[in-house]
Amino acid sequence: MTTQRDPRPPHPAPEDEPAPDPVPAPEDVPDEEAPLDPRAIARASLQAGRNASLWWSSAGVAASAALSVLWSPRLGPVALALVLLAGAVLRAVSPPPGPVAFSPRARWLDLVTLTGFAVVLLGLTWIVPAWGPYPTFP
């Protein structure tokens, strides 16, 4: 009876030095990579409810929806586009960090996004035909 040898190479011998610590010291970790504190997140979310920009942007969305239903399906998107443009202007002129509702990213990206959405919404409102017995909006 013959025995077969294991084809795998033998394990390397352990080194004399201990392995370096894979976890960096807390002072070496950048803020972007630091572990999140759930209590800090909860405090920030409670403070966000007191921020006026969130309430104004929510009121603008609600008003545009009400205008769409109660007055004209074309007037609601125009009002929403005006809310987006007002948010873009507010983001452009406010000092850093800016209003919470309009500043989740870099300033230039927020301006491009808000203005682009407003222009697209106005363009779609202009080219989509109105229907029903609603007053026409140019």
SS3 119: helix
| Angle (nearest 5°) at CA 136 between 69 and 86 | 65
Instruction: Please indicate whether residue 8 or residue 122 has the higher confidence score (pLDDT).
Output: 122
The pLDDT value recorded for residue 39 is 80
By the 10 Å C-beta count (0-12 exposed, 13-18 middle, 19+ buried), 117 is classed as middle
The pLDDT tens digits of the residues spanning 43-86 come to 776 666 667 888 888 999 999 999 988 988 888 999 999 999 99
* Stretch 91-98: mean pLDDT: 83
Amino acid at 17: E
pLDDT in tens, 98-117: 777 777 788 889 899 999 99
Q: Would you list the domain boundaries of the chain?
A: 64-132
